[in-house]
C-alpha cells in the first residue's frame, strides 16, 4: 500500500511513501503522518492511498500515523481547492490549516450565583465600594452557564480575591468541576425581535448582503429557524475580540452547543473543536477566518459579519485567501450572509448589479456626529473633546476613544534625512515605547535601545503624531479621577477571551486601537471619539477613505445614542461628510469615480506578485522575466517596488480589467521559474 503525502514544502505535488503492514489499518485520507524525508523526520497529510506508486525507486516507509485531529476527505479537498485558487503550494496550505493535537476536555471549577435574582441585584446595588466584586456579580448574572475562574479572569483580570469574598458572603457558590451543559436558549427580547425583522427578506440560498446596523439578533433568529439536525452553521467575525462577543450573544439566544474557534486559543483546544465538528457533536461554530476550513459535513448557513473588514484577508502567509470569497465558494449549497453596517464598495456594487441579493434595513442612527477641525489645536485631545468628556463623566456616562496607531507616537523620523525609522528585520515603522524607553517593532517584537538612524547615523530624531498610549496618558492627566482602560493588541494577546462589555463595566473611558470599533453597543456608552483620523485617510492605499469611513461607522455603532466626535485637519473630506450625514451614497459615488479613473476594483481585478529572491539582481531578472511572460495577457503591470513590510522583497502589481484573465496570467508568472509568491485579490497594495 502506498500513501501520497503532502509535506509543508514550496512544491506543487506530494510524495509517495510505503505503508507498513502494521499501519495499514490506521492509514486514511486526511490523516497526519510522520515520514523520513531528505534525512529528517517531517509530518504531512495523506492526500491519497493507492496500491502502487509511479516512483521508480525504493520508497521510504511511513513511520507513524496520528489519529487526530484529521481532515475529512471533503474538508481536505476543499482546502486543496483553496490552495489551487490562490496559487499556494498545497502541502504548505493544508499543513498550516490542521491543528496538531487534541486537548482533553477540561475539568475546571465553575461558579454560579448562590442566591435568587432579586437578592443578587440588591446585593449588587450595595457594592459601591467593591467594584471588583460587583464586576464578578455582573458577569455571573449575564452568563447563561456557570463560569470558571479562567473565563472570569479573561474578561475581568485577576478575580481571585473578589471571587473568594463573594463565596464567603454566600452570594456565589461552586457548581462542580465538570464543564456545564449548555442552557436552553433565552427568547429574544422584544426590541431584538424588531432588529431581527430583516430575516424575513432573506433568500433560501445563494449570497445576500445584509446592510443593517443591528445584526446579532437576526443571526440568532435565522440559526433558530433554518438549522436542521443534519446541517451545520458557521459564523465568522473579523477578529478575536469581535468573535468572542458574538459567541457570547449567540450562546445566550441560540439552542445547542456553540463552539468558539480562533488562533488565540491553544492548539489543543482548536484540535478538540475540530474533532467535535468532524464527529458532528457541534453544529454551530463562531470563529475567525481560519474556521472556514473546519470539517463540517454539510453547511446550511455561513454568516460573515462585518464583511468589509480587512482582517478577512490572509496576507501574512500562504495561502493568501480572502475569507468572503472562500465562504461563498464553500456555501454553494446553502445561504451565505454578508453582514455589515458599512459595505465594501465592491460588495455593494455586486448587490446593485443583482449578482447577489441585497437586504437593506433602516440604518438611521441616533448618534449625533460632530467634526472638529484640528487646525490650531495644540494637543491630540482637542478642547471640544475635553469638554465633551467632562460633560459625559459628570453625567456618569462612559466614553470610548479610538486611535489608529499603537505606541506613544505614530512614527519616529530622522531630523537629518527625514526618513522614518523602520525595523531592519521586517521593514515596518518602529514605535516608541515610553515605559521601556526603547524603539520597538510591533510586528516582530524586537526592541532597539540605540537611538540612531540606520540610513545616515544621526541621533537627532523627531517623534510625530499621537499613538494610543499618549492619548491615554493625556486623558488620565486631564481627568485623574476617571477610570481609564487601554485596549490594544497586547491586552488581547494576554486575554484572548476578553469580554469588552464586562471589562468596561469598571471603566469610565476606554482608549484603544480600531479593534474597539467592532461589535455591538456597549451599555452606558454616551460619547465616542476618533483621534488621528487623518492617519487613516493618508494610508497609501486606494481603499484608505473607505476604510476610514468603515472604522467611524463601527465606532458610532458601539452606542445606541450619544455623540461621535471626529478630529481631523480635513473636515470637508467626503468620507467624513458621509459619516456625518449618514449618506453612504456620497462615499460610494466618490470612490467609484476615483477607482474607475485608475482601474481599481470593482473596475479591475488585482494581484500582487512578490519577488522573494534574496539578491536584488536576481529580483530584477525575475521581474523582467515576468513582464515578458505577461505581455500577451493584456494586463497592466506596476512596479517592481520595494515591499513596505518585508525585507528583501519587491512586488509587482497586476491589474486586469477582464477578471477571468487574472488567474491565468498569475499562473504564467509562477511558471516562469522566478522565485515568487502570488497574492490574488489583495486587500491592500
pLDDT for 410 equals 61
Q: What is the DSSP string of 514-567?
A: GGGGSSSPPTTEEEEEE--HHHHHTSSSTTHHHHHHHHHHHHHTT-SEEEEEEE
Query: CA dihedral in degrees (633, 635, 641, 642; nearest 10)?
Result: -70
**Which DSSP helix (H) or strand (E) runs through 35?**
strand 32-37
**Facing residues of 37 across strands?**
40
What b/e string do you get for 461-476 counting C-beta neighbours within 10 Å, with b at 16 or more? bebebbbbbbbbbbbb
DSSP letter at 365 equals -
pLDDT for 363: 67
| Nearest 10 degrees: Cα torsion 612, 618, 620, 626 | -70
Question: For the chain, what is the largest distance between any 2 Cα atoms, rounded to a whole number of angstroms?
Answer: 81
- The confidence band for 293, taking pLDDT boundaries of 50, 70 and 90, is very high
SS3 592: helix
Give ∠ CA 498-115-142 in degrees, rounded to 5: 25
| More confident site: 594 or 406 | 594
Which cell is 135 given?
Answer: 464586576
7-19 pLDDT tens trace = 999 999 999 999 9
**pLDDT band at residue 176, thresholds of 50, 70 and 90?**
low
Domains of the chain: 2-97 (3.40.1440.60), 111-174 (no CATH), 190-360 (3.40.50.300), 366-407+466-597 (3.40.50.300), 605-680 (3.30.70.600)
Arithmetic mean of pLDDT, 38-53? 94
* Each residue's pLDDT tens digit, 205-235: 999 999 998 899 999 999 999 888 889 999 9
Instruction: Using the predicted structure, report yes or no on whether residue 132 has a pLDDT greater than 60.
Output: yes
Give the rounded percent of residues in the chain with a pLDDT score beyond 70: 91
CA distance 43 to 22: 19
Q: Check pLDDT > 70 for residue 426.
A: no
Confidence of residue 494 (pLDDT cuts 50, 70, 90): low
**Residue 64 CB neighbours (<10 A):** 12
Q: Cα–Cα distances in Å, from 116 out to 77, 120, 163, 171, 177?
A: 52, 6, 18, 9, 22
Distances 353 to 329, 346, 357, 359, 555 between C-alpha atoms, Å: 20, 11, 9, 14, 29
Selection from 230, 407, 422, 344 nearest residue 600 by Cα: 344
Which pLDDT score is estimated for 244? 87
The percentage of the chain sitting over the pLDDT mark of 90, rounded to a whole number, equals: 57
Cell of 509: 473611558
Give the integer Cα–Cα distance in Å for 171 and 564: 39
Strands (E), 381-494: 398-402, 411-414, 431-433, 438-440, 447-448, 461-464, 484-487
Between 463 and 339, residue with greater pLDDT: 339
- Rounded CA-CA distance 63/98 in Å is 19
Query: How does residue 497 score in pLDDT terms, banded at 50, 70 and 90?
Result: low
Q: Is the pLDDT of residue 180 over 50?
A: no
Report the C-alpha gap between 256 and 498 in whole angstroms. Answer: 23
288 DSSP assignment = S
Q: What is the pLDDT of residues 345-396, one digit of tens each?
A: 999 999 999 999 999 987 677 899 999 999 888 888 999 999 999 999 999 9
Q: In terms of pTM, does the model score above 0.85? A: no
Q: Per-residue confidence at 468, pLDDT binned at 50, 70, 90?
A: confident
Q: What is the pLDDT of residues 300-335, one digit of tens each?
A: 999 999 999 999 999 888 899 999 999 999 988 899
Question: What single-letter DSSP state applies at residue 254?
Answer: S
SS3 116: coil
pLDDT for 464: 65
Which pLDDT value is given to residue 453? 74
Q: Quick one: three-class SS letters along 401-413? A: EECCCCCCCCEEE
Averaged pLDDT, 262-280: 92
Candidates 393, 406, 381, 365; CA nearest to 565 is 381
Give 54-88 pLDDT, tens digit per residue. Answer: 888 899 999 999 989 999 999 999 999 999 999 99
Give the model's pLDDT for residue 601.
Answer: 94
For the chain, the C-alpha Rg in angstroms (whole number) is 27
**Range of lowest pLDDT (94-98, 441-445, 472-476, 644-648):** 441-445
d(CA 288, CA 316): 15
For position 465, what pLDDT does the model report?
A: 66
- Of the listed ranges 414-428, 473-487, 614-628, the least confidently predicted one is 414-428
CA dist 100 and 68 (Å) reads 8
pLDDT, tens digit, for every residue of 548-594? Answer: 999 999 999 999 889 999 999 899 999 999 999 999 999 999 999 99
Q: Taking the alpha carbons of 329, 330, 334, 340 in that order, is the dihedral positive or negative?
A: negative
Asked whether the predicted pLDDT for residue 181 surpasses 60, the reply is: no
Mean pLDDT of 92-118: 85
Q: How many residues make up the chain in this entry?
A: 685
With 50 as the cut, is the pLDDT of residue 162 above it?
A: yes
Mean pLDDT score of the chain: 88
CA–CA distances in Å: residue 624 to residues 148, 203, 414, 670: 60, 49, 35, 13
pLDDT value for 177: 47
Alpha carbons 405 and 433: distance in angstroms, whole number: 12
φ/ψ of residue 10, rounded to 5: -80, 60
Amino acid at each position: 500500500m502506498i500513501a501520497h503525502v503532502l509535506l509543508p514544502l514550496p512544491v506543487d505535488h506530494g510524495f509517495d511513501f510505503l505503508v507498513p503492514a502494521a499501519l495499514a489499518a490506521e492509514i486514511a485520507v486526511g490523516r497526519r503522518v510522520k515520514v523520513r524525508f531528505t534525512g529528517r523526520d517531517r509530518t504531512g497529510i495523506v492526500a491519497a492511498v493507492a496500491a502502487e506508486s509511479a516512483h521508480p525507486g525504493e520508497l521510504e516507509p511511513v513511520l507513524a500515523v496520528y489519529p487526530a485531529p484529521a481532515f475529512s476527505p471533503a474538508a481536505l479537498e476543499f482546502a486543496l481547492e483553496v490552495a489551487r485558487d490562490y496559487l499556494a503550494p498545497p502541502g504548505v496550505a493544508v499543513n498550516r490549516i490542521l491543528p496538531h493535537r487534541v486537548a482533553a476536555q477540561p475539568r475546571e471549577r465553575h461558579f454560579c450565583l448562590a442566591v435568587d435574582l432579586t437578592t443578587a441585584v440588591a446585593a449588587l446595588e450595595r457594592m459601591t465600594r467593591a467594584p471588583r466584586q460587583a464586576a464578578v456579580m455582573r458577569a455571573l448574572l449575564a452568563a447563561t452557564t456557570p463560569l470558571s475562574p479562567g473565563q472570569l479572569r479573561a474578561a475581568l483580570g485577576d478575580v481571585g480575591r473578589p471571587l473568594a469574598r463573594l463565596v464567603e458572603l454566600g452570594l456565589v457558590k461552586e457548581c462542580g468541576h465538570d464543564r456545564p451543559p449548555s442552557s436552553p436558549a433565552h427568547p429574544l427580547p422584544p426590541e431584538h425581535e424588531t432588529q431581527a425583522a430583516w430575516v424575513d427578506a432573506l433568500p433560501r440560498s445563494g449570497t445576500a448582503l445584509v446592510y443593517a446596523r443591528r445584526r446579532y439578533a437576526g443571526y440568532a433568529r435565522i440559526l433558530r429557524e433554518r438549522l436542521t439536525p443534519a446541517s451545520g452553521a458557521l459564523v465568522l467575525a473579523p477578529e478575536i475580540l469581535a468573535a468572542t462577543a458574538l459567541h457570547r450573544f449567540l450562546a445566550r439566544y441560540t439552542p445547542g452547543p456553540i463552539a468558539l474557534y480562533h488562533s488565540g486559543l491553544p492548539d489543543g483546544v482548536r484540535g478538540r473543536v475540530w474533532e467535535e465538528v468532524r464527529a458532528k457533536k457541534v453544529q454551530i461554530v463562531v470563529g475567525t477566518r481560519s474556521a472556514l476550513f473546519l470539517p463540517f459535513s454539510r453547511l446550511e448557513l455561513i454568516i460573515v459579519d462585518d464583511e468589509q473588514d480587512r482582517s478577512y484577508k490572509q496576507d501574512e502567509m500562504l495561502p493568501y485567501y480572502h475569507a468572503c470569497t472562500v465562504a461563498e465558494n464553500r456555501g454553494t449549497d446553502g445561504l451565505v450572509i454578508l453582514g455589515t453596517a458599512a459595505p465594501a464598495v465592491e460588495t455593494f456594487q455586486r448587490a446593485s448589479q443583482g449578482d447577489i441579493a441585497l437586504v437593506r434595513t433602516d440604518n438611521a442612527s441616533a448618534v449625533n456626529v460632530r467634526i472638529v477641525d484640528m487646525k490650531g489645536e495644540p494637543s491630540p485631545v482637542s478642547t471640544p473633546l475635553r469638554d465633551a468628556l467632562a460633560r459625559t463623566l459628570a453625567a456618569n456616562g462612559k466614553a470610548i476613544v479610538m486611535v489608529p496607531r499603537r505606541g506613544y507616537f505614530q512614527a519616529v523620523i530622522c531630523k537629518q534625512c527625514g526618513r522614518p525609522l523602520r525595523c531592519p528585520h521586517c521593514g515596518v515603522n518602529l514605535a516608541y515605547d515610553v515605559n521601556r524607553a526603547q524603539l520597538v517593532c510591533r510586528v516582530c517584537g524586537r526592541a532597539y535601545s540605540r537611538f540612531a538612524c540606520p540610513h545616515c547615523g544621526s541621533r537627532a530624531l523627531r517623534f510625530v503624531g499621537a499613538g494610543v498610549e499618549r492619548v491615554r496618558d493625556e486623558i488620565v492627566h486631564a481627568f485623574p479621577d476617571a477610570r481609564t482602560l487601554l485596549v490594544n493588541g497586547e491586552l488581547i494577546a494576554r486575554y484572548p477571551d476578553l469580554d469588552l462589555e464586562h471589562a468596561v463595566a469598571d471603566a469610565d473611558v476606554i482608549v484603544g486601537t480600531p479593534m474597539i470599533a467592532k461589535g455591538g453597543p456597549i451599555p452606558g456608552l454616551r460619547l465616542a471619539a476618533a483621534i488621528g483620523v487623518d492617519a487613516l485617510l493618508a494610508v497609501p492605499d486606494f481603499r484608505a477613505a473607505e476604510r476610514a469611513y468603515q472604522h467611524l461607522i463601527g465606532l458610532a455603532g458601539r452606542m445606541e445614542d450619544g455623540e461621535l466626535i471626529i478630529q481631523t485637519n480635513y473636515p470637508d473630506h467626503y468620507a467624513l461628510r458621509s459619516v456625518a450625514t449618514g449618506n453612504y451614497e456620497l462615499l460610494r459615488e466618490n470612490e467609484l469615480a476615483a477607482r474607475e479613473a485608475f482601474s481599481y476594483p470593482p473596475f479591475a481585478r488585482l494581484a500582487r506578485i512578490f519577488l522573494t529572491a534574496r539578491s536584488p539582481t536576481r529580483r530584477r531578472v525575475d521581474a523582467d522575466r515576468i513582464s515578458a511572460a505577461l505581455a500577451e495577457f493584456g494586463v497592466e503591470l506596476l512596479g517592481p517596488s520595494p515591499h513596505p513590510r518585508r525585507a528583501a522583497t519587491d512586488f509587482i502589481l497586476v491589474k486586469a480589467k477582464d477578471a477571468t484573465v487574472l488567474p491565468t496570467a498569475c499562473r504564467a508568472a509562477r511558471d516562469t521559474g522566478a522565485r515568487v509568491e502570488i497574492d490574488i485579490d489583495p486587500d491592500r497594495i
